Chains A and B, each alone.
Chain A
């Protein structure tokens, strides 16, 4: 009993700074969990990815192996993430979208703990360490992930940060262990892990410090792209490759163009969206400050991919493509503080940047909330009550066709559901669903819901309109109007993002 008490006491923060950070983290997790739930509940943001991630867990509890409904095959065909097995028991315990929101927010906040530990070692100042942790927690590309649907990149973030921490503290075993854990995350993680190779060489560490991440990354890449992915893909084309479509149609073309066609690479870098993207990304980290430290290398792999990608979505700071980049920019800023201090001391004599510079980094991170936060997303829409009443008409588990795409977040806990884009607004495919939910209030969304889709159901004698209010329509197939045992054509597989 006494031993347990001692262990518990050891786990609790021992210093004032540690206790302050713990308090901040509790408030952070509760606030962002609440905000994420609110945004989802009020249907004020995108919901397509919530539907995908929720369904892969839901399906695994209902006889399918982590099913990705939009590609109609296992999720591992697209993302080879063994980490889903770690989260799965939690979801099995409380099978709800909100469980995943909570996991997401906890992962982000844990990365703040690791940042605190790193900062305390680097800056040797508790207040500055707390400020740097808060800077990471509120860095636009990181904090936005609390409320940007559901994505799995966030799960890896504390693991990657822990890799760095154990590298810094020269704890080899834990370093290797966390490299392996991190490599179980999204398939782009090994690229970031690979940066430990040049970093270890830079730091003149022994061979084992660079061989381990090299081996882990290489094995992870081979397993992901040569074994697991193809096994589950059944001939399906790796979707993320479409993001680099401007550089080629397959991996060999992409690499060939990157390595041997500088003009194509240059054109990719020169895309008009890259300028604003870089400004938005770098400004909260004080523009060039991260580049004063070699640790900025860890931000490079994802940053490089985002810059050359033809998909503009990767250049949106508040989306999940910038989680690692953002976190490592903050980390690099942290290492830049003592470096800049040393530089200034050479020029001006006695200069101390702590805690003012960490304070500035922290304030800059928080101050850029307009890049990702819009208060309107946390208030109910004018037709919220109507939405709730309309959705309540649709029984649990029945096949549903819905539009727009964002509504998928509310229908992903059933085995058959689809949106109008997946069935290409084609009546032959649309009429295979017993229930239809159309919310025509999102006129500015792209692609808009064709009026013909609504009219197709309104004019189909096999369907009856149960609900039509404030632009929201619910249709139900009349009993016995279609032989449901007839084979249903699978939804077409989207060819790109």
Chain B
């Protein structure tokens, strides 16, 4: 087996191995010190927890299957691992591993492009440190981290003109999320621009289009079981509240879209997204085509979350902009070599790109989120004060820590929907926390402390646990919409 491994596999394995371990450690650190909101850690942990208990991919915070929100059937690949090691840490490790493995197709693409091991290795490192990619280790657990490796392999086999393998990986990637087929459709456009045969052009376009329609109009509504999907009206409010109105307004009133695209938020997002690739490199080739659908959605949407580089909405965009940047880099190197008769240009340029990418840590890394809180031990003791199966309301940063039980929610429910919040047996309040609302004011604290239905059972360094008196809940009141 060892003999069959190519010589360059070892440094690549080392690179990916070290990368996975370092960022897995960082992710664990951030999670364990309650560095930021851990809502999705909690939600996806619960999803697997419920799967092992007979309700496959149930998403309790929405009261429906996760597939009703996103056509992310690829979550199924994690079930055996979670069954063996059921914890949030397992999900974090698997996420880091999948992100790291995305380096393999990138290496193969770079190797094919530059025909040089060192250059490919450096470019792989650059990809792995690209803000939209590397940030996903220390974001929460999200779907795109688990699909990108397949989509990049699809690109590699597309380059290699191996149709069967391309289709296989593109199909697997499509199972990752409902927006992936749109990226797959762009392979058809890419093939057309490369003047490939009809099967390369038609299959991705038709296949991607059909699958997109299938998941959007059939499968996801089926899993929603009549519940509303609030994505559309949350994302494009300035264009309308229904899909029809959005499309109509976008086509008939392009000024609206153009004004939006030229807004400060969009310009800033776009500049910061392409800046680690020297702004122009991704656009010097058509290799970035697959980034366009997600990029267009992120730009046209008026939901600011999609424009946060460190969040998961930019993984496909970032990956394919980087692929385009590698092609662009090759072009620039050709120009430099012709002008300067410089044989080492490609490796030097790859190193330059790596440094530029690495320097953009400030767009995704916030050191404060990795520092232990001064009252960390009190928070941990407060969590321990709640029985493992007790229903509990917690601040946003503690969600992951209390997940894996039937009922938990965030403390904002006490304000948003008191009748829903009243169903929970325990409430953890952190009066030190000012990053999230509701901030615990004296009035907010007194609403529980002076409430005869609640008893204070833990108080330490401004961390409090209240126990609701009275019987068990019937859980008839649904969560806030």
Interface residues of A (CB under 8 A from B): 283-284, 286, 348, 350-357, 359-360, 363-364, 367-368, 370, 375-376
Q: Given A355-B336, A356-B336, A375-B268, A367–B275 Cβ distance below 8 Å? A: yes
Answer whether residue B264 sits at the interface, using C-beta atoms and an 8 A cutoff: yes
| A residues in contact with B264, CB < 8 Å | 375-376
| A residues in contact with B448, CB < 8 Å | none
The answer on a CB contact under 8 Å between B340 and A364 is no
| A residues in contact with B363, CB < 8 Å | 370
CA distance A375 to B266 in the complex (A): 12
Contacts A/B (CB < 8 Å), 8 sampled:
A283-B359, A352-B348, A355-B336, A356-B352, A357-B348, A357-B352, A363-B356, A367-B359
| B residues in contact with A375, CB < 8 Å | 264, 268
Q: Given A363-B356, A367-B356, A356–B348 Cβ distance below 8 Å? A: yes
Q: Given A356-B336, A363-B278, A363-B356, A350–B268 Cβ distance below 8 Å? A: no
Known: A360-B356, A364-B359. 14 other contacts (CB 8 A): A283-B359, A348-B344, A350-B344, A351-B344, A352-B348, A353-B348, A356-B348, A357-B348, A360-B352, A360-B355, A364-B356, A367-B275, A370-B362, A375-B264
| B residues in contact with A286, CB < 8 Å | 355
CA distance A32 to B235 in the complex (A): 36
The answer on a CB contact under 8 Å between B355 and A352 is no
Please classify the interface of chain A as helix (H, G, I), strand (E, B), loop, or mixed, using the class held by over half of its residues.
helix
Name the residue of chain A whose CB is nearest to the CB of B344: A351
Answer whether residue B232 sits at the interface, using C-beta atoms and an 8 A cutoff: no
Q: How far does the Cβ of A411 sit from chain B's closest Cβ, in whole Å?
A: 31
CA distance A401 to B275 in the complex (A): 46
CA distance A356 to B363 in the complex (A): 24
CA distance A156 to B363 in the complex (A): 34
| B residues in contact with A359, CB < 8 Å | 352
Q: Which 7 A-B pairs have the closest CB atoms?
A: A360-B352, A352-B342, A351-B344, A356-B348, A375-B264, A367-B275, A356-B349
B343, B348, B356 pick with most chain A CB within 10 angstroms = B348
A356, A364, A370 pick with most chain B CB within 10 angstroms = A356
Name the residue of chain A whose CB is nearest to the CB of B280: A363
CA distance A351 to B359 in the complex (A): 23
Answer whether residue B360 sits at the interface, using C-beta atoms and an 8 A cutoff: yes
Name the residue of chain B whose CB is nearest to the CB of A361: B352
Answer whether residue B216 sits at the interface, using C-beta atoms and an 8 A cutoff: no
Q: How far does the Cβ of B362 sit from chain A's closest Cβ, in whole Å?
A: 7
The answer on a CB contact under 8 Å between A355 and B340 is yes
Answer whether residue B233 sits at the interface, using C-beta atoms and an 8 A cutoff: no
Answer whether residue B455 sits at the interface, using C-beta atoms and an 8 A cutoff: no
The answer on a CB contact under 8 Å between A354 and B340 is yes
Q: How far does the Cβ of A317 sit from chain B's closest Cβ, in whole Å?
A: 12
The answer on a CB contact under 8 Å between B343 and A350 is yes
Q: How far does the Cβ of A341 sit from chain B's closest Cβ, in whole Å?
A: 10
| B residues in contact with A283, CB < 8 Å | 359
The answer on a CB contact under 8 Å between B345 and A356 is yes
B351-369 interface bits toward A, Cβ cutoff 8 Å, 1 = contact, 0 = none = 0100110011011000000
CA distance A286 to B351 in the complex (A): 12
Name the residue of chain B whose CB is nearest to the CB of A354: B340
CA distance A357 to B349 in the complex (A): 8
Q: How far does the Cβ of B339 sit from chain A's closest Cβ, in whole Å?
A: 9
A350, A363, A370, A376 pick with most chain B CB within 10 angstroms = A363
CA distance A363 to B363 in the complex (A): 16
The answer on a CB contact under 8 Å between A351 and B362 is no
| A residues in contact with B344, CB < 8 Å | 348, 350-352
The answer on a CB contact under 8 Å between A351 and B356 is no
| B residues in contact with A354, CB < 8 Å | 340
Q: How far does the Cβ of B358 sit from chain A's closest Cβ, in whole Å?
A: 10
| A residues in contact with B275, CB < 8 Å | 367
CA distance A351 to B276 in the complex (A): 24
Q: How far does the Cβ of B394 sit from chain A's closest Cβ, in whole Å?
A: 30
Name the residue of chain B whose CB is nearest to the CB of A360: B352
Which of these, B272, B336, B348, contacts A351 with CB under 8 Å?
B348
Q: How far does the Cβ of B11 sit from chain A's closest Cβ, in whole Å?
A: 17
Q: How far does the Cβ of B226 sit from chain A's closest Cβ, in whole Å?
A: 44
| B residues in contact with A360, CB < 8 Å | 352, 355-356
Name the residue of chain A whose CB is nearest to the CB of B350: A356
The answer on a CB contact under 8 Å between A367 and B360 is yes
Name the residue of chain A whose CB is nearest to the CB of B271: A369
CA distance A354 to B276 in the complex (A): 20
Q: How far does the Cβ of B156 sit from chain A's closest Cβ, in whole Å?
A: 27
Q: How far does the Cβ of A364 sit from chain B's closest Cβ, in whole Å?
A: 6
| A residues in contact with B343, CB < 8 Å | 350, 352
Q: How far does the Cβ of B281 sit from chain A's closest Cβ, in whole Å?
A: 10
Q: How far does the Cβ of B277 sit from chain A's closest Cβ, in whole Å?
A: 10
| A residues in contact with B276, CB < 8 Å | 367
B345, B355, B356, B362 pick with most chain A CB within 10 angstroms = B355
Name the residue of chain A whose CB is nearest to the CB of B340: A352
| B residues in contact with A376, CB < 8 Å | 264
Name the residue of chain A whose CB is nearest to the CB of B341: A352
CA distance A360 to B359 in the complex (A): 11
Q: How far does the Cβ of B255 sit from chain A's closest Cβ, in whole Å?
A: 21
CA distance A348 to B363 in the complex (A): 34
CA distance A354 to B342 in the complex (A): 9
| A residues in contact with B352, CB < 8 Å | 356-357, 359-360
| B residues in contact with A368, CB < 8 Å | 359
| A residues in contact with B360, CB < 8 Å | 367
Q: How far does the Cβ of A489 sit from chain B's closest Cβ, in whole Å?
A: 41
| A residues in contact with B272, CB < 8 Å | 370
Q: How far does the Cβ of A287 sit from chain B's closest Cβ, in whole Å?
A: 8
CA distance A363 to B358 in the complex (A): 13
Q: How far does the Cβ of B331 sit from chain A's closest Cβ, in whole Å?
A: 14
Name the residue of chain B whose CB is nearest to the CB of A351: B344
Name the residue of chain A whose CB is nearest to the CB of B360: A367
| A residues in contact with B349, CB < 8 Å | 356
CA distance A350 to B349 in the complex (A): 15
CA distance A286 to B356 in the complex (A): 9
| B residues in contact with A367, CB < 8 Å | 275-276, 356, 359-360
| B residues in contact with A364, CB < 8 Å | 355-356, 359
CA distance A367 to B272 in the complex (A): 9
Q: How far does the Cβ of A356 sit from chain B's closest Cβ, in whole Å?
A: 5
Name the residue of chain A whose CB is nearest to the CB of B268: A375
Q: How far does the Cβ of B304 sit from chain A's closest Cβ, in whole Å?
A: 15
Name the residue of chain B whose CB is nearest to the CB of A284: B359
CA distance A376 to B275 in the complex (A): 20
Q: How far does the Cβ of B334 sit from chain A's closest Cβ, in whole Å?
A: 13
CA distance A234 to B177 in the complex (A): 74
CA distance A352 to B355 in the complex (A): 17
Name the residue of chain B whose CB is nearest to the CB of A128: B340
| B residues in contact with A350, CB < 8 Å | 343-344
CA distance A357 to B336 in the complex (A): 12
CA distance A368 to B342 in the complex (A): 29
CA distance A480 to B333 in the complex (A): 79
Name the residue of chain A whose CB is nearest to the CB of B343: A350
CA distance A348 to B352 in the complex (A): 17
CA distance A470 to B268 in the complex (A): 30
| A residues in contact with B355, CB < 8 Å | 286, 360, 364
The answer on a CB contact under 8 Å between B356 and A352 is no
| B residues in contact with A353, CB < 8 Å | 348
| B residues in contact with A352, CB < 8 Å | 340, 342-345, 348
CA distance A375 to B355 in the complex (A): 26
CA distance A104 to B393 in the complex (A): 57
B327-338 interface bits toward A, Cβ cutoff 8 Å, 1 = contact, 0 = none = 000000000100
CA distance A367 to B131 in the complex (A): 14
